[in-house]
Amino acid sequence: MAFYSGEHNSPLTTLIMNRLSTLFSFFTLFIASFTYADVATEQKIVAQIDKNMSRSLKELEQVVNINSGTLNLEGVEQVGRIFLKQFDELGFETQWVEGSEFDRAGHVVARYGNKGPKILMIGHLDTVFTKDDTFQRFKPLGNNKVAGPGITDMKGGDVIIVSVLRALKTLGLLENMSVTVVMTGDEESSGKPLSASKKALIDAAKWADIALGFEDGDSSIKTAVIARRGSVNWTLDVKGKPAHSSQIFSDEIGYGAIFETARILNEFREQLAGYGNLTFNPGVLLAGTEVTYDAQNTKGDAFGKRNVVAQTATVTGGIRAQTPEELAHAKKIMHKIVKENLAHTSAKLVIGDGYPPMAPTDGNYKLLSMYSDISESLGYGKVDAVNPRNAGAADISFTAGYVDMAMDGLGLMGSGGHTKDEIADMTSFAKNMHKAAILMYRLSQQ
């Protein structure tokens, strides 16, 4: 009891207590200094980004004013070369991946460092606006709003990537991480085959530990994307036995192509609607005696008569699934339904390649939690996960199966993406730079 009284301690006890007190004070000071150093570093990151903001804005205006619709190959490469020059200035090893093999312009790849976490940063150079579109220029609107083709989807995100790396490099913090940047030239309309057009992205993902995408997500600064539904296309071709309509349903003629198509589509609906986050949609249906379908331009013609049993039908559609398991289940059920044909009909279902699902893994949730903590520490508020139904397919989906953690939606926010009303909310520009740069810094300290 005397050991705790402080009045009757022996000299040895007093010595031990004094040393423990000194040690505790030193440890407390060490922890406080370490915490202060982290906070101080993060404040320097914010200040450095803000210092360069006028440059970032000029760079955004420059690339927005260059048309880079996916099929404007020269424009896409011109934008890519601007970013390559910026990466060169930062000391990155850079590469322009030629896209002739997959009928697109190509991709930017830039690499830096060999220490710390391996971070993949993802952007894209192309937009949905064609070379002759009337929507071509960067246009300030006042009240922190700027209109422009591809400003949020996703040239703003590309500029955020460069600005974040520039700040980290200036402060000497980039030396503690390994970074690969891939900016694709065909995100809006993927080149074929996908094995060629997505190779640079997938190779980078196989190397990386963490993937960060700088799309605009659902255009809310209060959310980030840790799950995206994949998107794949399907085609259904159905054959029936042609005859006068008076013979339909008979043992010799059967039901015809249109009734078989209706059966298949309705079974798809009855057996798969409401399953998880799965959706599927028949977008085009052509049926009759003769059908021609132009897959490249998604249009066609059909000929038939009211008194003739339909001989053929073609349907094209899409599937969106949140997890590989959902997609596998859908494929299994759909193929089973297609094989159970009505009399004197046959059907063939082809499910093509596309964007794989980005499942909401534990690692993704951990990354989101870290990102949200950073946002709150900066006074920007909590960041929640986007509802996967509000986030379309994106390039990060091709990487998600290879990395430990993945998150998207870190780019410039706004509204009206893919339309002539695409408008950026410029209040999100610096904020998302701050958050992404500090996230990378914290990852490098773990």
* 205 and 60 belong to one structural domain: yes
pLDDT of residue 389: 83
CA distance 69 to 343: 48
Same domain for 210 and 166: yes
Domain match, 224 and 244 both: no
| Residue where a domain stops, chosen among 340, 355, 370 | 355
User: What CATH number corresponds to the domain at position 208?
Assistant: 3.40.630.10
The answer to whether 259 touches 342, Cβ cutoff 8 Å, is yes
Looking at the fold, whether 366 and 340 belong to one and the same domain comes out as no
* CATH number where 289 lies: 3.30.70.360
Q: Which of these three, 333, 355, 377, is where a domain ends?
A: 355
pLDDT at 147: 98
pLDDT in tens, 217-274: 999 999 999 999 999 999 999 999 999 999 999 999 999 999 999 999 999 999 999 9
Per the domain annotation, does 218 fall within a domain?
Answer: yes
Residue 392 lies in a domain: yes
Is the pTM higher than 0.75? The answer reads yes
Residue 326 located in a structural domain: yes
Pair 205, 316 in one domain: no
Same domain for 148 and 197, yes or no, is yes
Mark whether 256 and 307 lie in a shared domain: yes
Q: How far is it, in rounded angstroms, from Cα 95 to Cα 81?
A: 10
In a domain, 109, yes or no: yes
Residues 149 and 84 grouped into a single domain: yes
Whether 9 is covered by a domain: the verdict is no
Residue at 100 is within a domain = yes
Residue 19 lies in a domain: no
312 and 424, same domain (yes or no): no
- Asked whether residue 71 falls in the same domain as residue 188, the answer is yes
Residues of the chain with pLDDT under 50: 1-17, 19-20, 22-37
Q: Which of 308, 339, 355 is the last residue of a domain?
A: 355
pLDDT in tens, 362-405: 999 999 999 999 999 999 999 999 998 887 789 999 999 999 99
Domain count along the chain? 2
pLDDT score of 12: 44
Q: In terms of residue numbers, what domain contains 109?
A: 49-228+358-445
Of the candidates 346, 274, 267, 353, the one whose C-alpha atom is nearest the C-alpha of residue 313 is 346
**Residue 327 and residue 404 in one domain:** no
β-strand partners of 428: none
274 and 221 within one domain: no
On whether residue 382 sits in a domain, the answer given is: yes
